[in-house]
Amino acid sequence: MEKDDILAAYKKVGGRIETKAKVKLTTKEDFALFYTPGVGKVSMHLAEHPEEVKEYSVKKNSVAVISDGSAVLGLGNIGPYGALPVMEGKALIFKELGNVDAWPIVLSTQDPDEIVRTITAIAPSFGGINLEDFKAPECFEIERRLIEALDIPVMHDDQHGTAIIVLAGLINAAKVVGKNVKELKVVIVGAGAAGAATAKLLHAYGVNDIIVTDRTGLISKGRTDLTGVKQQLLDLTNPRNIEGQLEDALNGADAVIGLSGAGRMNGEHIKMMAPNAIVFAMANPTPEIMPDEAKAAGAAVIGTGRSDFPNQINNALVFPGVFRGALDSGVRKITQDMKLAAALAIAALVPEPTAERIVPDILETSVVEAVARAIR
Amino acid sequence: MEKDDILAAYKKVGGRIETKAKVKLTTKEDFALFYTPGVGKVSMHLAEHPEEVKEYSVKKNSVAVISDGSAVLGLGNIGPYGALPVMEGKALIFKELGNVDAWPIVLSTQDPDEIVRTITAIAPSFGGINLEDFKAPECFEIERRLIEALDIPVMHDDQHGTAIIVLAGLINAAKVVGKNVKELKVVIVGAGAAGAATAKLLHAYGVNDIIVTDRTGLISKGRTDLTGVKQQLLDLTNPRNIEGQLEDALNGADAVIGLSGAGRMNGEHIKMMAPNAIVFAMANPTPEIMPDEAKAAGAAVIGTGRSDFPNQINNALVFPGVFRGALDSGVRKITQDMKLAAALAIAALVPEPTAERIVPDILETSVVEAVARAIR
């Protein structure tokens, strides 16, 4: 669809989600029960028994989808209003796929302290916090501090949702090309939120030969400019200590996972890889390399984040189930073991993967239940 | 209904509101349009044209119903979880009566600076801010600072929603007892958020003989303990400078408006008033005096905030229409003139008031439209 048609479709509905009453409010008796005086009894009960709040309120099933607009899709720092359509779209998917009541919240601040304070302040209303499109490296600290501060599950989906679906896709892509997933030489393009978390989760699963690249080049021991998470990645990745640029890492690689931005790769890159290359080009909305170009260059299995190509390796397959499971079971922290279990559960939904089908379709209702079960 | 039945009814639904998709999300094409890649075009458009955000997002029709739980109904400072059922109930009413998509947000802080910072930070997501159940005197400063800081309408409903519906009710109650509303001797019990705002709005309408009481006694020139809003009220109220306690003000009064707490009045108080007394006992959920006791003591017109008695003088008649009107017209500030117009519009919906019907029923659909028109 062209841009004008897309804008017209959005303008027609105004917002893609709305609120809806779950109780009847048509008689005075309804008002007396579900508003005043009835609500006073519930308020007093929860004042005395705050631990029961989820049983009597929206906190039971609600998630805030929060962004500061600092790293929206592959579009960059486009601020809260640029971020709002994405958060609203995630809230829509939360409801339609996971029956989670999510509300989009975009912030007028990009200061980590302010962000942590703000989310801590509004947390009592929600059963979970889905952080979205916060830029690295601030996103790591923001998520860590919120997980420590809050008694509800907090997940930065760009990190963990992405890592989970990439691992699921990679397990099945390796099957398609007849290679052992743990022995794959994997190159991750991008050391932002998604790249770092994906490297960590693949490593936790047992993939040993991972090389991560950032704009400067390969993350390798010779670099003197690495701090924070990139420094941590040195311990988990690049065991052969390859130095240089993307091309140096791609030489003979089995899989490349693009988690960076539009057009960062071309056919020449793919041709450097080992035979039967696996190419995940996940930048949204425009991939690192378009699928037809990757295919022409010899890639055997190709995935993107988009709905209009085969193999949609999108965290929309993950986040509804993660929060569905966490809300249902009262899970407070999403652990690395849960993430591994979720990835395996998604991969298992496609027992006989093919080049055009390594992950389940986003429309398959079994996905949410499988992920939720893994979290529980 | 008994407390156990009420709790059971709430527990059965979990939350009284949920989210709902306004677009179809059943095919891959739907995902491509309303999520990725389509949403990227809308995000880019809003990054370049942030002034159009309301046309393409939930900001068009959304209101945050926010409380810090410091003054919940007449129940006091019962914290965020005690407040949540009330905020959720207001969100329910916003949708059912005003077709406004409201989401309840309760805060883990009661510090005014933190509250202003937090609400400023989350404001980009919303088309309006309904403040609720913040205690006085902090509520005045919080509302003032947010109105200055934000480009969307902000209203502390305990103040202005209450003031509007009291004025509407008083205009029609005066008709019922055959008195000139502007010449009524009015006593307001309670100098909190609602009491102060009601005194101001009645005065702006032209009611001159208003006396406001707080826990210490009548607000009068002899008091040395008055600060802030109570100091301001000295200029607008108590023209005869009556000193002393509630009884001193009620002696010969035409109307008493309870905006304080349960059981603050009894039949003896009503008997001190002038013949054909007007009694609004608006504390929720338990009024200052129950209607039957007021009637037995001679009151001619009696109103409460509750749905289970006649004359429900409840701001639920006001807030859906105020925000409906403000959202539709892009009004950024709710002015005193708009509030007066809203009160007159509500009063005019009952052209021939009786002792049992001075305000429209909460179920009458004409109310929201009349208030919205007054705001526009």
Residue A1: pLDDT above 90? no
* Closest CA–CA distance from residue A316 to any residue of chain B (Å): 10
**Chain B interface disruption, residue of A1, A3, A5, A10, most B CBs within 10 A:** A10
Look over chain A and give the mean of its residue pLDDT values, rounded to a whole number: 96
Residue A300: pLDDT above 90? yes
Work out the percent of chain B whose per-residue pLDDT is above 90: 95
Residue B362 and residue A42: Cβ atoms within 8 Å?
no
Across the range B332-356, mean pLDDT stands at 97
Which residues of chain B does A93 touch, with a Cβ-Cβ cutoff of 8 Å?
25, 35
Options B35, B56, B81, B221, the catalytic residue: B35
Residue B285 and residue A38: Cβ atoms within 8 Å?
yes
Q: Which residues 6+ apart lie within 8 Å of B315 measured at CB?
A: B157, B158, B161, B162, B164, B165
- The candidate with the shortest Cα–Cα distance to B278, out of B219, B196, B202, is B202
Residue B262: pLDDT above 90? no
Where do we find the tokens 């802030």? B228
pLDDT of residue A253: 98
- Two tokens at B17? 């509101």
Instruction: Count chain A–chain B contacts defined by CB atoms under 8 A.
Output: 381
Is B148 strand, coil or helix?
helix
Q: How many angstroms from the chain centroid is the CA of residue B290? A: 21
DSSP characters for B207-258? --EEEEE-SSSB--TT-S---HHHHHHHHHS-TT---S-HHHHHTT-SEEEE
- The candidate with the shortest Cα–Cα distance to B115, out of B63, B62, B64, B68, is B68
pLDDT of residue B252: 97
Q: How far is CA B216 from CA A283, B127, B237, B244, in A?
A: 65, 40, 16, 9
Across the range B5-31, mean pLDDT stands at 96
DSSP characters for B245-314? -HHHHHTT-SEEEE-S-TT---HHHHHTSPSS-EEEE--SSS-SS-HHHHHHTT-SEEEES-TTSSSB--
Residue A1 and residue B316: Cβ atoms within 8 Å?
no
pLDDT of residue A261: 84
Q: What's the distance, Cα to Cα, between the start and end of chain B in Å?
A: 39
Residue B26 and residue A363: Cβ atoms within 8 Å?
yes
Residue B37 and residue A285: Cβ atoms within 8 Å?
yes
pLDDT of residue B210: 98
pLDDT of residue B74: 80
Across the range A115-132, mean pLDDT stands at 98
Residue B1: pLDDT above 90? no
pLDDT of residue A73: 86
**Chain B interface disruption, residue of A39, A101, A368, most B CBs within 10 A:** A39
Burial of A224 (0-12, 13-18, 19+ CB in 10 A): exposed
**What order of strands is seen across the sheet that includes strand B62-67?**
B101-106, B62-67, B128-131, B154-156
* Closest CA–CA distance from residue B302 to any residue of chain A (Å): 17
H helix intervals, chain A:
3-13, 28-34, 38-48, 79-98, 112-122, 138-149, 157-177, 193-205, 228-236, 246-250, 267-271, 291-296, 319-329, 336-348, 366-375
pLDDT of residue A94: 98
Q: How many angstroms from the chain centroid is the CA of residue A77? A: 18
Residue B281: pLDDT above 90? yes
What tens digit of pLDDT does each residue of B185-242 get? 999 999 999 999 999 999 999 999 999 999 999 999 999 999 999 999 999 999 999 9
Task: Give the number of other CB atoms < 10 A from CB of residue B210.
Answer: 24
- Distance, in Å, from the CA atom of B266 to the CA atom of B254, rounded to the nearest integer, reads 16
What tens digit of pLDDT does each residue of A153-203 get? 999 999 999 999 999 999 999 999 999 999 999 999 999 999 999 999 999
Q: B140 with B245: CB under 8 angstroms?
A: no
* Residue of chain A whose alpha carbon sits nearest to that of B25: A96
Residue A32 and residue B1: Cβ atoms within 8 Å?
yes
- Distance, in Å, from the CA atom of B183 to the CA atom of B179, rounded to the nearest integer, reads 8
- Distance, in Å, from the CA atom of B65 to the CA atom of B57, rounded to the nearest integer, reads 18
Residue B122 and residue A102: Cβ atoms within 8 Å?
no
- Two tokens at B33? 């349009």
Options B41, B54, B90, B179, the catalytic residue: B90
Across the range A253-260, mean pLDDT stands at 97
Active site residue B90: yes
* Residue of chain B whose alpha carbon sits nearest to that of A74: B40
Residue B67: pLDDT above 90? yes
Task: Give the number of other CB atoms < 10 A from CB of residue B8.
Answer: 11
pTM score of the predicted model: 0.95
**Chain A interface disruption, residue of B56, B362, B368, most A CBs within 10 A:** B56
What tens digit of pLDDT does each residue of A339-360 get? 999 999 999 999 999 999 999 9
* Residue of chain B whose alpha carbon sits nearest to that of A310: B28
Check residue B15 and report its DSSP letter: S
Q: Which residues 6+ apart lie within 8 Å of A26 measured at CB?
A: B363
What tens digit of pLDDT does each residue of A64-92 get? 999 999 999 888 999 999 999 999 999 99
pLDDT of residue B78: 97
Q: How far is CA B291 from CA A199, B11, B229, in A?
A: 68, 31, 30
